[in-house]
A = this chain, B = another copy of it.
Amino acid sequence: MRDVSIVGVGTTPVDKHWESSMRELGVRAINEALLDAGVGRDEVDSLYVGNMLSGKVVDQENVGALMADFADLGHVPATKVEAACASGGAALQAGVKGVMSGLEDLTVVLGVEKLTDVCQCEVNEGLAYAADQEFETFHGATFVSLNAMATRLYMEEFDVDHEDLLRFSVNAHRNGANNPDAMFQSEIDLETAMDSPEVADPLKLFDVTPICDGAAAVVLAPSERADEYPETPVEVSGIGNAVDSVGLHDREAFVEMAATVEAAEQAYDMAAMSPGDVDVIELHDAFTVMSAMGLEDMGFVEKGEAPAAAREGRIAVDGDLPATTMGGLKARGHPVGATGVYQAVEIVEQLRREAGANQVPGAETGIAQNIGGTGSNVTVTILERGD
């Protein structure tokens, strides 16, 4: 089993890119990652593309071939990997397995999503494809309404004040203010978050993420060759992926995501680490309740204690559990199938000590949680600064 490292990263800013098509965004991220790794297009062995809604929104599948074509990568093997909002994390892990298999050396993983340019009702319809069509969406449930119910339950189960959930959002916006790739680069205060309009009771505007476009790419190589590339390599020490029932009604628990618990366990085992070894935590904060559950389910705090951790400032960049350090899904934005790759890029920036004002001092390890559906498909990835 050979070790795999990230030797190059590239992103577009997350935004409503009215001027760029999906393929253009993807090419920009790939180009930047290849440049960062100092490698030519003809050196690439393979391409994996994380994407969820290209069919629904862009009328385009076959996105693996399309991106290889327009990024001029020649006849490389290329496929699209889909796991709803965890498509980026799943594509990253598919790429890691590709290199681990010994069949591929230099591999590019791209996450790309283009959600503007169409009626946003189409996007909402598409996002609900992550839920169970027969048992949830057919009956009118939207993705936001399902998460609203999960939020209500969590608040009641642990007697949580809404404002303690919104502190995750305030923290994310504080960090996003220093991230030039972030969609929202302005801080908000708790009062603004609490006074924001309701989206679906009890969710307020600042509990949820924006609809946006973006692309992020990483270049993978066998760790034994990682010192051939110009930047500090970052090793993929652990990967985990687990699923749960797609419909919320079939879950054993609503206030805990079994898929996160299981995926984190796989990743910790492979990395031979425990939560105490992790310096940077990228949560899939699509909804504030997901931030809270993520912190708990990956073992950083006990069940029900994440809101208190947020209140006590522990999730800030200078806290002991620095979370969503570059703005998270909330402020950096959530270009669905690209998010998991953005998370990896941001951890790489932290471990290379290039995170600027958001730098977690001396960060050596980071963990990224990427959630598909309402917790039905979760990837957890642990990254470690190379020597």
Contacts and interface: CB of A to CB of B under 8 A. Distances in A.
Interface of A: 1, 21, 23, 52-56, 58-66, 68-69, 75-84, 90, 93-94, 96-98, 100-103, 125-126, 128-134, 137, 239-247, 250, 258-259, 262-263, 266, 270, 372-373, 376-377
A39 B189 CA distance: 55
A132 B372 CA distance: 28
Contacts of A126: 55, 61
A133 B62 CA distance: 10
Nearest to A56: B55
**Chain copies in the assembled complex:** 2
Contact of A84 (B21, B65, B93): B65
A1 B101 contact: yes
Contacts of A259: 75
Nearest to A270: B103
Contacts of A240: 77
B59 A137 contact: yes
Contacts of A372: 62, 65
Given A65-B372, A100-B103, A77 B242 contact: yes
In terms of DSSP, what is the predominant structure of the interface of chain A? mixed
In the A-B complex, list the 3 residue pairs whose CB atoms are closest, starting with the nearest. Answer: A77-B241, A100-B101, A61-B129
Contact of A79 (B82, B100, B266): B82
Contacts of A125: 59
A243 B77 contact: yes
Nearest to A49: B82
B83 A81 contact: no
Given A53-B55, A66-B132, A75-B244, A82 B84 contact: no
Nearest to A104: B97
Contacts of A134: 21, 23
Given A98-B97, A100-B101, A101-B1, A79 B81 contact: yes
A64 B377 contact: yes
Given A103-B100, A244-B75, A62 B129 contact: yes
A69 B21 contact: no
A60 B62 CA distance: 17
Contacts of A132: 60, 66
Contacts of A80: 81-83
Contacts of A55: 53, 55-56, 126, 129
